[in-house]
Amino acid sequence: MQFSRKRKVFSSAQVEYGHCLQLYGQPPLENITLAEFETFAVERLKLLKTVENLGVSFVKGSEDYQKKLSSEITNLNFPYKTEANDDRKQLTGPTEYEKRRKDHISHFILRLAYCQTEDLRRWFIQQEMDLFRHRFSDLPPKYKTEFLHRNDLQYDTISPDEKEGLMEKLVSSTYTVSGATVKEQDFYKVPFQDALDLVRLRKVFLRQGYAYIPHQDIVTIVLNDFRTRLSKALALTARSLPVVQSDERLQPLLSHLSHAYVGQDYSIQKNIGKVSLEQIDPLSAKSFPLCMRQLHRALREQHHLRHGGRMQYGLFLKGIGLTLDQALQFWRAEFVKGKVDADKFDKAYAYSIRHMFGKEGKRTDYTPYSCMKVILSNPPSQGDYQGCPFRHSDPELLKQKLQSYKVSQAGILQILELVKGMHYQLACQKYFELTHNIEDAGFSLNHPNQYFAESQRLLTGGKEVKREADAPPPRGGQSVRAPDALQDKPANPKQASAEITEDLDSLFQDD
């Protein structure tokens, strides 16, 4: 790709876009203006952020999700399946051609911006995959097949005999498939590693290490291919990046783009030292979100929390301003009331507290967990109190808990309704509104520390807390802001060491 300040000049090498969906195999060859470069990039970023937001507020693939995403694609003028039905002649027509060109070029621009760190890559791949999944799934069958042909994607199918023999198992492994439809469609046999999303959900039949995938789920395999290619490509791009970065016109733009989606990560402690240990009890009732209130209570009652809980709660406390010394004092005081004596605490647990503050090991400074992280990763198991109560509690228990916190009956119903629709963060926000006696929280909740900060702002009159706007703003009536996917995991080189040290801590668990 060449960039010029001058007016747009098409090089003769115009790309043919034969299908509305592409695997982005070839980089664009034409020259484009800096202005167009920027518009394309920003618009694709908008689209990817919408993808991310929708993934948080809705079940991926649900009707609402599909509808909202489709309309965003159309609004931003990216190619969409309806046009795939258009007459073939129109494919080179300005509109559809322009859209496909934009899809192509903008994808490659963001590759430049998002290849730089493991975190950026992960975020980018995730959103591009979700986008691709949506677009592919929405294609009429004929166009799916055409897409596979065009891109030379071939997968092994099983013979009718084998299918016959496995009939019952295939039917009961695949949700929407009946005996009749099993007969009709092809089944692909791939190593289970290539269909992890289906394996994870137990939505596919497995035998001897192979997954038997019905044609209707072929998107899974295609997506796996897409992911593999994209992550290889990003690694390559990263290597050529120094050249691009030396371009002083592009450098600031790219770095701006890659920072654009990051929300506040609550790792910078503006409030450090402003909370005293005595305040924690009252604060936990007034200003902690339920997840942290639950952990706090469990800690006070059990005088112990297991690893996952310690991380979630400890980092939150760090985020609201506890100093390292305070944190040590706080955890020690509680643990020694239980089965751990001071000596054992210093040996086995103090390390992990210091570690959270980046004072041990590789000195990774951990950031507090976002709601996304709490909700999606590390769900609680036996003996755990971590997680998000809206997501991980039995509705019945949640109801009792809300009752005991004096939430009105009507309020509880509203919250449970949101929980049922899997809008956990919205449910939490509703809880915020109800307990702070306000109509509309006026923010979209994506972080427990944000909950705390907003609560304090209301209760103390907004002296302490600043909010950062993150660009670009959500669109299409979205009420949930981009969660901070970025901060969730430290960058890879760091990550390796972070994991190591984290494990170290969990080793000292309870065996």
List, as residue ranges, the binding site for [4Fe-4S] cluster: 291, 371, 388, 428
- 388, interface contact from other proteins, ligand SF4, none, CB < 5-8 Å by kind: ligand SF4
Residue 388 binding ligand SF4, by CB under 6 A: yes
H or E segment and range at residue 476: none
User: How far is residue 165's CA from residue 160's CA, in Å, rounded to a whole number?
Assistant: 9
Residue 209 binding other proteins, by CB under 8 A: yes
Q: Which of 113, 390, 453, 488 binds ligand SF4 (CB under 6 A)?
A: 390
Per CB under 8 A, contacts with other proteins among 277-296 are: 294
Per CB under 6 A, contacts with ligand SF4 among 347-376 are: 371, 374-375
* Per-residue contact flags (x/-) with other proteins for residues 468 to 507, judged by CB under 8 A: ------------------------xxx-xx-xx--xx-xx
Query: Is 438:468 a contact under the CB 8 Å cutoff?
Result: no
3-state secondary structure of 165: helix
Q: Which is nearer to other proteins, 164 or 247 (CB)?
A: 164
Distances (CA, A) of 413 to 181, 397, 403, 407, 427: 41, 13, 11, 10, 10
- 492, interface contact from other proteins, ligand SF4, none, CB < 5-8 Å by kind: other proteins
H or E segment and range at residue 295: helix 290-302
Q: Which is nearer to other proteins, 383 or 476 (CB)?
A: 383
Residue 263 binding ligand SF4, by CB under 6 A: no
Q: Which is nearer to ligand SF4, 289 or 490 (CB)?
A: 289
CA atoms within 13 A of residue 73's CA, in its CB half-sphere: 27
Q: Which of 190, 222, 123, 509 is nearest to 344 (CA)?
A: 509
Query: Is 59:85 a contact under the CB 8 Å cutoff?
Result: no
Q: Which of 122, 86, 402 is nearest to 234 (CA)?
A: 122
Per CB under 6 A, contacts with ligand SF4 among 395-434 are: 424-425, 428
**Helix-helix angle 218-245:94-114, to 10 degrees:** 70
Task: Please give the DSSP secondary-structure letter assigned to residue 44.
Answer: H
Residue 511 binding other proteins, by CB under 8 A: yes
Residue 380 binding other proteins, by CB under 8 A: yes
Query: Is 449:371 a contact under the CB 8 Å cutoff?
Result: no
Q: Where are the strands (E) in 38-78, listed by range?
A: none
CA atoms within 13 A of residue 310's CA, in its CB half-sphere: 28
We find the least distance from the C-beta atom of residue 192 to ligand SF4, in angstroms, to be 32
Q: Rule CB under 8 A: which residues touch other proteins?
A: 169, 171-173, 175, 192-193, 196-197, 199-202, 205-210, 294, 298, 307-308, 347-348, 362, 378-387, 389, 392-394, 396-398, 492-494, 496-497, 499-500, 503-504, 506-507, 510-511
Q: Please report, as ranges, the residues that interact with ligand SF4 according to CB under 6 A.
A: 289-291, 371, 374-375, 388-390, 424-425, 428, 448, 451
